Amino acid sequence: MAFMASIIVNGHGKAIVTETGMATKVGKIANMIIEDEAPETPIQRKLGQVGKILGIVCLAICLIIFVIGLIKQIEPVEMFMTSVGLAVAAIPEGLPAIVTIMLSIGVTKMAKKNSIIRKLPAVETLGSSSVICSDKTGTLTQNKMKVVEINSKDIDFTTELACMCTDCDILYQNGKTEVNGEPTEVAIVNQGLNNNKNKNELYMAMPRMNEIPFDSNRKMMTTIHRIGNKYRIITKGAPDVLLEKCHKQISGISGQATVIEKSKVQRENEKMAEKALRVIAVGYKDLDFLPQKIDTNTIENNLTFVGLIGIMDPPREGVKEAVKSCKRAGIKTVMITGDHIATAKAIAKELNILNTNDKAITGQELDRIPQKELERNIADYSVFARVTPEHKVRIVKAWQKTGAIVAMTGDGVNDSPALKNADIGIAMGKNGTDVAKNAADMILADDNFVTIVEAIKQGRNIYDNIRKAIHFLIATNIGEIVTIFMGLVLGLKSPLLAIQLLWINLVTDSLPAIAIGLEPEDKGIMERNPVNSKKGIFSDGLWNKIIVEGIMIGMLTLVAFSLGNKFFGLEVGRTMAFLSMGLLELVHSFNIKSEQSIFKIGILENKFLIGSFVLGTIVQISVVVLPSLAKIFKLVPLNQMQWMMTIMISLLPIPIMELQKKLNEVKYGKRIYPKKVGDVYVTKNR
């Protein structure tokens, strides 16, 4: 018995279905999973901790405010309601929910661009990725293979044997011939059809009796065919491996065999590989009878070398530019392939992955390097050729020891350990196995390297926007605390009532925060180094900015209240404070868009932010101008002068923050993003 979704690694067989759908073992497991909630992402856990700390601090401040109010002989009920209202408004309990919304929106956007995120934490990790370990075939290249060269004394015989040693199917549909199978083998079978060597017809004459499937460690595949009373063994695979199994080579069309000149064949292999061709070697032998045990030791030996087949797989469109973009973004691209090292180097040079000082290494050479030494020197290597799945895991772990955040691509069953060990496991959606997809954090629907780079850009933008939303929410909450606290310290009546605080928190916090989460990426987002994963969400002086901006919002609100209270009375003062705080927060949301001047980045780019500002402003003003609502919130109508004073105070965050940004430019230099010096991008430490 086998479970549904079990992976058949190799071989052939027939299966009888005994259960379907939710009645299967996997279906029963799915039933249990349906009710389970997804775990929190790292950023959500961090925010949960921050929320608890802020909650405790806010409650302590609210208690102090309540005591100060009593000392100043303010009505206990009024102070209690104000303290409770402030506590509810000031504690950012909505942060985790807003972050979840942002992550969900980001994941949806990425899915539309062929990046399917299976695990939410992957979105955060993408922004920190500093190394991409990528397969060559199908990811960096088009995976549209075509035979362009056959180096053999007998080209027809080489093509015939190569076609027979494949698992492709030739289908005839609507008058067209179509070959289905693995791209390398499809190229070989198509070449056979061009040479009048039809695999189906060959199999009728020489039926396939058995096989030793391809294995990534052996790098070979063997099929066994019956020819009359004899058997033909055909093996194809990596030239450097297959040559070790050969003792003879055909010397011409007559089929005569001579002692193999391995050095000459190896030189031909090198020449073809240097043309960026994937080279496949073909060998065979005929037996009168088969050994009792069919395995690599009894079958894959004493072969006669037939020839080399060179297959071209051109680079994908846009990959070269994507690799260049990665360099600007401080991300190293590493090619990992099973191909010959010369082929890998040729493609890597064409794509600018392998540069002057970079090294290429084979899996065989890698075996001779201790892990500690590899960890010290891993940054020197840009190409790994003839690697096994075990090598991939070693490469990932070596990079991780340097502190790098590693993204690893894979498509096969054997790639799953490396995908699991990587910080971001990326499986191929088209040609990937179910095992690889289940082990991955992200799936590429188009198997394209360019999509990985686009996903990293989106990941960086999502992380940036989460920081901006946190920045905005906590700064505005601090502004509310400062308003009440400083008002009491200065001997004033409470500038805002509990119901007014709760309204401001509801209307002017949530919508702009979500809108900030939809902010388009900065133009230079891929021209700066990756986010340091070891740094906290509040690193790089974010706490200082939050506190300063919170004090600014609080003090400006207090100015509005003081002017209204002094010249027009308490109710007008509270109405002006109510309007000012709401509008101050809405206006300040535009300052959070970027560290650059809002007049440089385009203030109208984020339509959602514009919408939240307009809607928030209309709702905030409506509470004052509509008598029925004004009565509920204990507000009074304002005259023209009072409106002018309130609006002028509400707009002050723009010039204040613009001045602060200008001072930053003077202090740290105008260039925010890296400047190219030779082949290196240098960023001033801000």
> 263 in helix, strand or coil?
helix
- Tell me the Ramachandran region of residue 614: left when phi exceeds 0, alpha when psi lies from -120 to 50, beta otherwise: alpha
Q: Give me 558's structure tokens.
A: 């207090």
CATH number for the domain including 409? 3.40.50.1000
Q: Give me 457's structure tokens.
A: 């850009």
**Phi and psi dihedrals of 620, rounded to 5?**
-65, -45
The confidence band for 685, taking pLDDT boundaries of 50, 70 and 90, is very low
Choose the final residue of a domain: 419, 447, 475.
447
Is pLDDT larger for residue 37 or for residue 550?
550
Within a domain: residue 18? no
Exposure of 425 by Cβ count < 10 A (0-12 exposed, 13-18 middle, 19+ buried)?
buried
The reported pLDDT for the residue numbered 686 is 33
The domain total for the chain is 3
Choose the final residue of a domain: 396, 428, 447.
447
> How far are the Cα atoms of 214, 241, 343, 391 from residue 305, in angstroms, in the given order?
18, 12, 21, 29
Predicted confidence (pLDDT) per residue in 332-382, tens digit: 999 999 888 999 999 999 999 998 889 999 999 999 999 999 999 999 999
Within a domain: residue 87? yes
Q: Rounded distance, CA 266 to CA 342, Å?
A: 12
Q: Rounded distance, CA 174 to CA 178, Å?
A: 10
CATH number for the domain including 165? 3.40.1110.10
Say yes or no: 437 and 460 in one domain. no
Within a domain: residue 330? no
Say yes or no: 665 and 561 in one domain. yes
Within a domain: residue 328? no
Say yes or no: 498 and 435 in one domain. no
Q: How many CB atoms are closer than 10 A to CB 345?
A: 23
Say yes or no: 382 and 345 in one domain. yes
Q: Rounded distance, CA 333 to CA 324, Å?
A: 9
Say yes or no: 443 and 461 in one domain. no
Within a domain: residue 475? yes
Q: Rounded distance, CA 255 to CA 251, Å?
A: 7
Say yes or no: 475 and 515 in one domain. yes
Beta strands 675-677 and 680-682 are antiparallel
Q: Give me 367's structure tokens.
A: 């075996």
Say yes or no: 185 and 242 in one domain. yes
Q: pLDDT above 70 covers what percent of the chain?
A: 92
Q: Give me 580's structure tokens.
A: 């000012």
Q: Which of 135, 411, 415, 447 is catalytic?
A: 135
pLDDT score of 683 more than 50: no
The reported pLDDT for the residue numbered 29 is 61
Say yes or no: 272 and 151 in one domain. yes
Within a domain: residue 273? yes
Say yes or no: 55 and 195 in one domain. no
Is pLDDT larger for residue 487 or for residue 192?
192
> How far are the Cα atoms of 130, 354, 448 from residue 136, in angstroms, in the given order?
19, 13, 10
Within a domain: residue 563? yes
Predicted confidence (pLDDT) per residue in 498-523, tens digit: 888 888 888 777 788 889 888 888 88
- Would you say 95 and 473 are in contact if contact means Cβ atoms under 8 Å apart? yes
| 679 classed as catalytic | no
Exposure of 596 by Cβ count < 10 A (0-12 exposed, 13-18 middle, 19+ buried)?
middle
The confidence band for 680, taking pLDDT boundaries of 50, 70 and 90, is very low
Is pLDDT larger for residue 15 or for residue 360?
360
pTM: 0.76
Look up the domain containing 136 and give its range.
131-141+335-447
Q: Rounded distance, CA 673 to CA 601, Å?
A: 14
Choose the final residue of a domain: 425, 447, 469.
447
CATH number for the domain including 670? 1.20.1110.10
Q: Rounded distance, CA 235 to CA 280, Å?
A: 10
Q: Give me 234's structure tokens.
A: 């055909």
Q: Rounded distance, CA 133 to CA 348, Å?
A: 13
Say yes or no: 151 and 136 in one domain. no
Within a domain: residue 246? yes
Say yes or no: 306 and 344 in one domain. no
Find, among 267, 243, 265, 271, the residue nearest to 152 by Cα: 265
DSSP 434-447: HHHHHH-SEEETT-
Say yes or no: 548 and 490 in one domain. yes
CA 599 distance to own-chain centroid: 31
